[in-house]
Amino acid sequence: MTITGELLIDGGARPGTGGAIHAVDPSTGATLDVTFGGATKADLDEACALAAAAFGPYRATSPEQRAVFLETVAAKIEAIGDDLIVRAMAETGLPRARLEGERGRTMGQLKMFAGVLRDGGWLEARIDPAQPDRKPLPRPDLRLRNVPLGPVAVFGASNFPLAFSVAGGDTASALAAGCPVVVKAHPAHPGTSELVGRAVQEAVKACGLPSGVFALLHDAGIEISQGLVADARIKAAGFTGSRRAGLALTAVAQGRPEPIPFYAEMSSINPVLLLPNALKARGAAIAPDFVAALTQGAGQFCTNPGLILGIDGPELDAFLAATAEVIAKAPAGQMLTPGICKAYTGGVKALAETSGVTEVAHGLEGGHGQGRATLFSVDAATFLATPHLQDEVFGAASLVVRAQDLAQLTQVLAALEGQLTIAVHMEEADTDLARALLPTLELKAGRVLVNGFGTGVEVGHAMVHGGPFPSTSDSRSTSVGSLAIFRFLRPVSYQNLPAALLPVELQDANPLGIARRVDGKVVLA
C-alpha cells in the first residue's frame, strides 16, 4: 500500500491544498518522505455532507452487517502488513514490539465491538406491554431502544497511533453504534493514519457501504479541527489529547447552536497510594515495578503513574532509595515528537524549580528527542499549597508526596483532581485502611486498582478508561471497552406502534434473540 499524502473522502483519495504537513522521525529530527496536504473548508464540508448522507443507509444496516464490517476493517489493517509497523515506528519512535502489540489491540477492539453488536445489549431494548384494562387509564404499549446520534468526529491521539487513532476505540465504537466517522488525523503520524484510513476505506467498499461512512482529513492548523466540531452535521466527537486542546474543542462543541456531546480524554497523573504495611513489607520490591511502569513507552501513557503518595518515615525513605537506584540506571526513552519532548523537558524543569520540590533521582541521559525519567519529592503541605503540582507532565516524571500522617494523606486524597486511575499498594493488614479510603478513591477516578499500576488498559466489558474532570470532559463514559458504544447512542421510545412498524429488536418474536427488559425485568432470549 502506497502512502500518497492525500485526504480520504468519498471512497477515494485527493490531494489536500490547505497547507503542507510533514512527519518527522523523532529519533533524528529528520523529515520523513511524503508531503501531506491539509484539508480545506470545502473538503471538510464535503466529508461532513457525505457522512450525513451515509448516516441513514448506514444505520439501517443490521447489527450483523456492521459486525462483519468491523471484522473486515480489522482484517484489512492486518493485511497492510509490515509497512504499517515500519511507518509507525518512523513517525512515532515507538519500538516494533509495542506497535505490533498495539495493532493487535486495535484489531481486538474492532472484533470486540462486533461481539457487542451481536450480543444486542447496546440496544437497551425494553418493552412495557400495553395494559388496555388498566384503571383509570389504559396503559399504552411502550418499547424503547437506542439509536445512533449521527456522524461522529474522531481526533487521533499522538501516543497511540493505532489504538486511539484512525481505527481506534472511538472510531470502532462509533461505527458499531451506526454512526459515520470523520477522522482528523494526528499530524505526528499522518502516514500511519493514511495507511489505516485506506484499510477502512477498503472495508467500506468490500462491505458495500456508502462511501460517506468514513473520511480521513489532515489539518495543517487548527481551523479544520474546530470546523469539524462546529459542523452542524456532526452530532458527537471523541478526542484524546492535552487538556488545553480538549477544553478548547469542548468549548466549540458547547458553543454550537445545537450543542453536542464532546468526549475529551485529557489529563491525569494517576496517583499511586503506598499503604503502610505494603511499604514496610515490600517497599523495595515495589520500586522496580514502579520504575518499569513509569518509564514504559517513555512515560507517554495517559495512565502513567505521575504521583506517589505515602506516609513519611523510614519505610518511605527505603522505597525512595530503592527507586532512585533503579531510576539512575534507567535508559532515556524516545519521545513521540519534538514538541512533546520539549514540553516534557520544560515540565521537569518547572518541577525542579518549584519551591519545596526536591529531585530524588533521574535516569540516564538520552539521545536526540529522548526524555530521561525523573523523580521528585515534596512534602504534603507544600503539595496542598501548590495547585500546579497536580498538572500532568506528559512523560516519565513522577512526584512523591510525603504525608506526615494518615490524616494528611487523606487531606491530599481529598484535594486531588479527577483521575483516570488510582492505584493502591497494600498488604492484607492494610485492608481496613483501604476499605476506609475506597469511597474517596472511587469518586476521584474511573478505575481503582490494587497492587499494580494503571498502565496496561485492558480492553473488555468491565473496563472504564475515563474519570471525573479534568481526566475527561464527561465522567459518565469510557473510551476503552464495550461500554464506549453508549457514547454515541440515545434512547427512543415507541408508543403504540403497529407491529408492521416496529424495529426488529422490539418485535414480539425477538428475531434477533437478544436480552430485553420486559416490564422492567431482564428476559433472556
Out of 478, 479, 505, 510, the residue judged to bind its own copies by CB under 8 A: 478
Q: How far is the CB of 295 from its own copies (least distance, A)?
A: 18
Please say which residue, 370 or 455, places its beta carbon nearer to its own copies.
455
- Site size toward its own copies, by CB under 8 A: 82
Contact status, residue 504 vs residue 510, Cβ threshold 8 Å: no
Q: How far is the CB of 352 from its own copies (least distance, A)?
A: 27
Contact status, residue 146 vs residue 91, Cβ threshold 8 Å: no
The rounded distance, in Å, linking the Cα atoms of 416 and 230 is 33
Beta-carbon count within 10 A of 431 CB: 12
The rounded distance, in Å, linking the Cα atoms of 35 and 189 is 12
Does 342 help bind its own copies (rule: CB under 8 A)? no
Length of the chain: 525
3-class DSSP state of 333: strand
Please say which residue, 355 or 435, places its beta carbon nearer to its own copies.
435
Q: Which three cell numbers stand for residue 100?
A: 505490533
Question: Of the listed 71, 265, 315, 392, which one is catalytic?
Answer: 265
Out of 496, 508, 511, 513, the residue judged to bind its own copies by CB under 8 A: 496
Does 463 help bind its own copies (rule: CB under 8 A)? yes
The rounded distance, in Å, linking the Cα atoms of 131 and 138 is 6
Contact segment (CB under 8 A) with its own copies among 66-74, 238-246, 265-273, 426-434 equals: 426-434
The rounded distance, in Å, linking the Cα atoms of 121 and 119 is 6
Residues 139 to 158 in contact with its own copies, rule: CB under 8 A = 139-140, 142-144, 147, 149-150
Q: How far is the CB of 428 from its own copies (least distance, A)?
A: 8
Does 501 help bind its own copies (rule: CB under 8 A)? yes
Q: How far is the CB of 255 from its own copies (least distance, A)?
A: 9
Give CA separation, 124 vs 23, 355, 486, 501, in Å.
Answer: 43, 53, 10, 19
Give 404-468 as a DSSP string. Answer: SSHHHHHHHHHHPPPEEEEEEE--GGGHHHHHHHHHHHHHHEEEEEESS-S-S---SSS-----S
Contact segment (CB under 8 A) with its own copies among 282-290, 310-318, 332-340, 475-483 equals: 475-483
In sequence order, which residues have a C-beta less than 8 Å from that of residue 295 and are 6 or more positions away?
A: 327, 330, 333, 363, 373, 396
Residues 251 to 290 in contact with its own copies, rule: CB under 8 A = 254, 258-259, 261
Tell me which DSSP letter residue 139 carries: B
Q: How far is the CB of 515 from its own copies (least distance, A)?
A: 5
Strand partners, 422: 448
Q: How far is the CB of 159 from its own copies (least distance, A)?
A: 19
Contact segment (CB under 8 A) with its own copies among 4-12, 33-41, 195-203, 434-442 equals: 434-442
Out of 447, 455, 485, 510, the residue judged to bind its own copies by CB under 8 A: 447
Contact segment (CB under 8 A) with its own copies among 3-11, 208-216, 280-288, 517-525 equals: 517-525
Please say which residue, 367 or 460, places its beta carbon nearer to its own copies.
460
The rounded distance, in Å, linking the Cα atoms of 400 and 360 is 9
Please say which residue, 442 or 508, places its beta carbon nearer to its own copies.
442
Q: How far is the CB of 178 from its own copies (least distance, A)?
A: 11
Q: Give the residue among 275, 270, 268, 269 at the shortest CA–CA distance from 410.
A: 275
Q: Which three cell numbers stand for residue 419?
A: 483521575
Strand partners, 4: none
Q: How far is the CB of 172 from its own copies (least distance, A)?
A: 15
Out of 288, 331, 339, 452, the residue judged to bind its own copies by CB under 8 A: 452
Residue 19 CB-density burial (10 A; 0-12 exposed, 13-18 middle, 19+ buried): middle
Out of 314, 367, 456, 513, the residue judged to bind its own copies by CB under 8 A: 456
Q: Give the residue among 185, 168, 192, 204 at the shortest CA–CA distance from 57.
A: 204
Out of 207, 318, 321, 515, the residue judged to bind its own copies by CB under 8 A: 515
Contact segment (CB under 8 A) with its own copies among 220-228, 278-286, 367-375, 428-436 equals: 428-436
Contact segment (CB under 8 A) with its own copies among 183-191, 220-228, 274-282, 439-447 equals: 439-447
Residue 140 CB-density burial (10 A; 0-12 exposed, 13-18 middle, 19+ buried): middle
Does 513 help bind its own copies (rule: CB under 8 A)? no
Q: How far is the CB of 80 from its own copies (least distance, A)?
A: 22
Is 265 assigned a catalytic role?
Answer: yes
Helices and strands: H and E segment counts in the chain? 14, 25
Please say which residue, 31 or 496, places its beta carbon nearer to its own copies.
496
Out of 81, 491, 511, 513, the residue judged to bind its own copies by CB under 8 A: 491
Does 324 help bind its own copies (rule: CB under 8 A)? no
Give 162-230 as a DSSP string. Answer: TTTSTTSHHHHHHHHHT--EEEE--TT-HHHHHHHHHHHHHHHHHTT--GGGEEEE--SSSHHHHHHHH
Strands 152-155, 236-240: parallel, antiparallel or unpaired by DSSP? parallel
Looking at residue 324, its amino acid is: A
Question: Of the listed 71, 302, 392, 505, which one is catalytic?
Answer: 302
Please say which residue, 306 or 467, places its beta carbon nearer to its own copies.
467
String of contacts with its own copies for each residue 406-425, x by CB under 8 A: ------------x-------
Residues 17 to 76 in contact with its own copies, rule: CB under 8 A = 56, 59-60
Residues 89 to 148 in contact with its own copies, rule: CB under 8 A = 101, 115-116, 119, 121, 124, 126-128, 136-137, 139-140, 142-144, 147
Q: Which three cell numbers stand for residue 237?
A: 466527537
Is 207 assigned a catalytic role?
Answer: no
Does 508 help bind its own copies (rule: CB under 8 A)? no
Catalytic positions, written as ranges: 265, 302
